[in-house]
Chain A
Amino acid sequence: MIRVQREDFDVGAEIERLTAGRHDIGGVVSFVGLVRDMAGGTKIGAMTLEHYPGMTEKQLAEIEAEAHRRWPLAASLIVHRYGRMEPGERIVLVVTASAHREAAFEACHFLIDWLKTKAPFWKLEDTDKGAQWVAAEARDDAAAERWSKK
């Protein structure tokens, strides 16, 4: 399942809903991304995530489907927020559930690495020098590259 929303999410409630009544699930892995107050030595007051409605959902669904092709997942969930967020706020949630933990751990890691390079989000940071668009980082591509099929 994927969801793109402005509002915050409740991690516990999301996991509860995803796994309710599912007795085939042996392990659940979750990743929660938060807004930090520093970026490369610059103090961040808040940030605004812009996205491409329609394509965002399509890309997230494709990334999720790829994870299900690669690992035996029983269930998965991606929730990604957009709009203005302050340091400490949750930005993104990735949950993977499987009969065994290895698949859940690996698929969760894969999903967060891939969505950072594939999902059409752009970050505008409020700094003491004014609002600045964040440039893409090569290390995100490198993190996703690890999962490329040989």
Chain B
Amino acid sequence: MRRLRPIISIGLPLLLWEFTSRMGWINNFLFPPPLAIAQAIWLQVGPYGNPPYAVLFHVLRSMVRILAGIGLALAIGCIVGLLIGLTRWGNAIFKPVISIIVPVPTLAWTPVLLLIFGIDDRTTITVVFIAASLTIIYNVVAGAEMLSARVFWVVRSMGASPWQIFYKLIIPGIFPYLITGLKLGVGFAWRALIAAEMLAASSYGLGFMIFDATQYLSMDIILGGMLLIALMGYLLEHVILGRVEARTTGRWGVQVER
């Protein structure tokens, strides 16, 4: 019974929707039946879509953008975060700047970026970068500040070179916080990406797909696209990064304050 419960509590409303929509009791233009939605999306996935393989291209484009943005954010975020957390000059210079940028909603930067880059992949990737890097920096700083000085003194007194200290003390020390920051950052970055794709009106991308569909009032594409967006967000944040988190911090038993 317990395994059936999620199936029933999700399936029953869907069934109701399908039934009432096909009977015409609810406006079936605004709420097309779920099977019709699935059909429309499936059509767009294959070679008979408009353009061919449309949905695949949209999903791929979004994935490329978010991976590029997150990769950049990881690299730069780690460096800046370590500088802020461990050095006095890094803290003095970077922390005020970051603290001023953080309260700005990420998407407010989109029009400025549109002016600088135009309607280009770089706009969306930069938005993803801003969203993810701020989160990663915040968490890496928290991790770096938590490093124990006593262990550092011990290791140094045993004659460790700076390189060894970096590899064996600092990196493992901040790793749990980095993973948490990465997970949160991916979540924020996905949300920012979808909205940025709607605004930056480029040619492919999940956000663009559902926003473009409003021009043609194709509710089935919109609803199907929303499901895809939710699915991809869940995959990215919980499945992929959840597994990484479970295998690393979960296994090592380090609890991280969120």
- Note whether A and B form a binding pair: no
Interface residues of chain A, those whose CB is within 8 Å of chain B, are none
Interface residues of chain B, those whose CB is within 8 Å of chain A, are none
